[in-house]
Amino acid sequence: MKRYALLLYILFLAAAVRAATPRPQPLYIVNGKETSEIRSIPPEDIENVEMLPADEETIARYGQRAAHGVMLITLRYDRPASFPADSAFGSYIARQVRWDESEPTARVVLRYKITPDGETVVQQELESTDNRLKRRVLKAVAEAPRWHPAQKNGAPVESEGVLSIQLPEGRRMPRQAELVIR
């Protein structure tokens, strides 16, 4: 968890510095490959981050592209897990759950893992505003097709994700009543 916080802190500082002063960015190396953009990498996919200074050794190793430093990022896997359905996992689950327009707006947020054999296992309930929706979502997750697991060095590895379902789609969650005592 500390490395995720560290990465977020580094990215926050890098964004703040770039916003304040137009400076060139460091060279980004993700899993040994040069890339120009790291914002799309989910923090939970990151295993390690190392920042190399813009010194003679770094420039000798990576060339002039490293004149502003190098950020080495190691992901937990080489290829992320992919869901075999024709849509994203959250959209698929939302379509499987029966939730009538007359029912109240409700939300369920779950942390899940994908095992090396492609099974989806719910690890933690992060939020649930309606137990009926939670039961239906859990049933849909249990009946969902197996994933193509993430790969690291050609072997399947465990990965994680967060599922957020809010139904009926397009409706806002009602604000909770607040009690103010004066």
Q: What is the pLDDT of residues 4-44, one digit of tens each?
A: 666 666 666 666 656 655 568 899 999 999 988 888 788 88
* Whole-angstrom Cα Rg for the chain: 21
Q: What is the pLDDT of residue 175?
A: 78
Residues 76-99 pLDDT 10s = 898 889 999 888 999 999 999 999
Same domain? 27 vs 94: no
Reported as a pLDDT band with limits 50, 70 and 90, residue 62 is: very high
69 or 12, which is more confident: 69
Residue 142 token pair:
């249990």
Residues 109-155 pLDDT 10s = 999 999 999 999 999 999 999 999 999 999 999 999 999 999 999 99
Q: What is the pLDDT of residue 20?
A: 57
Same domain? 42 vs 100: no
Q: Give the domain extent around 11.
A: 2-75
Model confidence, pTM: 0.68
Domain limit, last residue, from 75, 101, 123: 75
Domain presence at residue 51: yes
Q: What is the pLDDT of residue 142?
A: 97
Tell me, rounded to whole angstroms, the distance of Cα 25 from its chain centroid. Answer: 23
Domain presence at residue 84: no
Domain limit, last residue, from 20, 53, 75: 75
Same domain? 17 vs 54: yes
Q: What is the pLDDT of residue 3?
A: 65
Domain presence at residue 160: yes
Spatial CA neighbour of 7 closest among 92, 97, 71: 71
Could you give the number of structural domains in the chain?
A: 2
Q: What is the pLDDT of residue 136?
A: 97
